[in-house]
Structure formats: structure tokens, C-alpha cells
Amino acid sequence: INPDRVLAERDPMIYGQFLEHFHRQIYGGVYEPGSPRADGAGFRTDVLEALRRLRVPVIRWPGGCFVSSYDWKKGVGKTREPAFDKAWRVEEPNTFGTDEFHALCEALDCEMYICGNAGTGSIEEMSDWLEYTNLECEGAFARQRIKNGHAQPYGVKYFSIGNENYGHWELGAKERHEWARLVAETAKLLKRVDPSVQLSAAALPDPEWNLELIQRAGPYLDWISVHEYWDAIHTTNALASYEQAMAYTEKLDESIRKVEGILAATGYLGKIKIAFDEWNLRGWYHPNSHEVQLPTDKSQYLAPRDRNDENESYQMADTVFTACFLNALLRHADSVKMANYAPAVNTRGLIYTLKDGIVLRGTYHVFDLFVNQMGESIVDLWDQDIRRMNVTAKDGRNVQVDALDAVATRRSDGRIAVSLINKHPSDAAEVSVACEGCDGAGLALHSIAADSVFAYNDVEDPDRVRIEITKPEMAGGAVRLRLAPHSVNVLLI
């Protein structure tokens, strides 16, 4: 490691989170009025405490597919009118809306990132929403916010035009020429409301889609939005095995590289930032939700969603993969300035709620390690003799991947923090870390390990996957480590 050669500065917003009105993410998740564990505003205090530990910088809301038929105006004011959510085919009570989202972000001291309805909604509806949140007192919507008891503007800094509107599954999906024009015209109106708002638009790592979008709307955009779920289990719940999940790390940053290339080719690299604002190893399980011929029997499309609550689904594959992707974000810290893990609570989230408490999944501890131990400056690291391992991908291909994934950072306190991920399912890794000018003072190794790749946290055993701290030794200018198999580690030097 050369701690004096800084490659990039990471933005803390890469550790952002995401919440959607799906299953129990909002209701029964972060928001549960009447619960003995809720505060006066209806927020679960145990969930807030856990999220504060992660110093959440930004939350993207309200979706997700949900937003593409969402009428924000029904979710503000003293009288809330329930509506039928056409995305997920359930009744939306609208008791959690824009004002509650603002209160949540204030409680967590994080930025609001609103995703607008570019599906069934209109350009004007999106700009009305920004009037409600950001104008001081001008116009009917700012005055409505004041009447609702919120005298000061919310100051929403980030606004996304749409969500996955390129996909057939999205309500109000668009062709690329339609999308480019809609984004440009929406952005024009939003900037008239608040010129300081930072705008993003739904995009793909696809040259044709992005070229048309950037050529038409590029001058208005601050961000380009990218999503990815590597293990697409939405309709099957057939989870990739540990080794199959590690096969996904072969080309983990491929989408980022493609978008970087498109931005570079159009002259926007460094001008438009990448927001990887919805990501997770695995998709959410919601069968019979996006088909052409939809079932009428709720047992076929609502009841199966409860399987997202099965903690045995969240094993070391999820933990190790999550750390690998955070490493990838750090490697691309010069272009990726925001990322939002989807979601924060329940479904495939970091935190699982139940009536009497919460369970912190292994992925939660990964965020804890990266947020609280890794540094702000990405510094030069090169490796020698990294072991390769053969794994079988979910599609049957034989894939070779590095068994070790490492990124070095420098913290503001001068210490070097190195993330070291041993992806091998069964073998420990003998690693020597040499850092120019570093000594053995304050050495610490923070590790997330478990006795099996199948390990997970649950109500009966909430700490099976956890962070443990040991003190390694330095000899001859290097720290010598033995990293447990399927482990995530941060070394402090």
C-alpha cells in the first residue's frame, strides 16, 4: 500500500439506503404507530437507533415500482385517503407520505432523495411535488405545506425523474425517444421551481438508451441512475448458492464501467455523476406481480411475499457479496458518488423487524464496518500472488474469480483502513499487508466471520454473524494475517 498516492475521494453517499412501499419496509418496518417500540411520530425507535449507527447519508423514497402509480398529493395533509397501489396490488393507506419521510430523514440527520412518478404521473405533478417540498411560500403547494404545519421548506436536494421506466414491468414504461424527451421537459420544469435541485434520471448500462437520454437531457442532469440485482429470484425464490453468488463477482463493476464509458464518449464524465441508487445481491420475491395474465387469487401473489421475511435466506453469500460490491464502489469513487442499498428494512434489508424487536442481518454488519472503519481517501494498493478459485455460476458456467478482494483507504485520523474479503468458501487466506511508512501502533482487525457459509442471524440466534476485533502483529514492515474463509475484514494500521 502506498498511503501517499490518493486515487479518489469517496462520497459518504455511497452508503445510502432505500425504502419502498412494498411488503413491510414502511408499515411494520420503519413506521409502526401504536407499537410500544414506536416514538410519538410513529417511527420504530429500535430501527432508528440501528440506522443511526450506520450514519445513513441519504434515503431514496418512495420507490421503486411503487412510485410509478403514486399520487403524492393523497399522502399529505390531515385527511389521508387510502388508494389502490397498482404496482403491488394492495391498498396503500397513505399514512406515511412526504411529511413523514421528511420527519424520518430529520430523525436520522440524512438527505431526502425523492423519486418522482414518471409512469402514470405528469411533468406538472412532479414539479408540484418539488413546489411543496422546496418553495418557501410561493404558490398553492408551498402554502399547503405551511397549512399542514411545516412552515419551513424541506430543502429536498435530490430528485429522480422516474424509476426503471425502460422496463416492461414498470407502469408507464417508455421507449428511449419518449424517455429522453420526457426527462428533458421534466428537468426543465423542476429547475424552474428550484435551480439548486440535483436531478437524476432512470438509465441503463446501454449505449442506445443512454446516448439518446444524454444528448437530449444531459445539460439538465446531475446524476444518471443505475440499478442492479444480480440474483434475479423475483419469480422463483431460487437463491443462488454461496459459490454461485461468488461467481457474480467476476464482473461486479461491469455496469459501472459501461456507464462510465458512455459518459466519457459524450463528454459528460465528471459532469454527470453515477447514482447506483438501487442495488442488492438478490431481487425481492414477488411472483405473479408483473405478468401479462395476472392471478386474481391473492394467495398466489400476496402470500408468497412473506417469504422475504425468512432470515435463513440471508446467509454469508449476501454478507460477502455486499462487501465486494462496496469495494467496487470504492474503486469507482471518482464517478459513483451515490448508492442506495435496497432496502434498508425488511424484504432483503439490513434490518429485520418483528413485534418484540429487531434482528441485524450479516449485511448490516458489513455496512457498520465500511461506514465506521473505512476511510475517505482511496489510496494505491497492488497485490501479488492472489489465489484464484473456480466456482460454478448459476447458469452452469465454470468461472474463475480472485479469492481475495482488497481496497485500501486513508482515514481523516491518519490511519490506513484496508478492506480484505476472503471469498473462498472453505479455506483460510494467509495474507501479508505491507504499508510504506506504517508502524504497529493501533493495529486492529475487525472481522465478520461465521462457522459456515450457511450461517445467518435470526431471533433465536441474533449474533451468529457479528463483528469481532483482534489485534494482529507487525513484523518486518508487514502485517501477517490469517483470514477466515467466507469472511469480511477491515484492517486498521
Catalytic residue numbers, as ranges:
164, 278
Q: Beta strand pairing status for 444-449 and 158-161? A: unpaired
Amino acid at 20: E
Q: Is the dihedral of CA 431, 2, 271, 153 positive or negative?
A: positive
Alpha carbon 27 to its chain's center: 19
Cα distances from 446 to residues 151, 328, 374, 480, 491, in angstroms, run 45, 20, 11, 14, 6
The size of the chain, in residues, is 493
Cβ proximity of 85 and 66 under 8 Å: yes
First-to-last alpha carbon distance for the chain, in angstroms, is 11
Q: Which three cell numbers stand for residue 386?
A: 492472489
Candidates 345, 296, 289; CA nearest to 88 is 289
Task: Phi first, then psi: give them for residue 36, nearest 5 degrees.
Answer: -65, -15
Angle at 342 (CA atoms; ends 337, 346), nearest 5 degrees: 145
CB atoms within 10 A of CB 150: 18
Name residues whose C-beta falls within 8 Å of residue 426's C-beta, 6 or more positions apart in sequence: 485
DSSP helix/strand/coil, 206: coil
**Helical segments of 274-403, H only:** 298-301, 316-331, 362-373
SS3 of the chain: helix, strand, coil, percent, to 5: 30, 30, 40
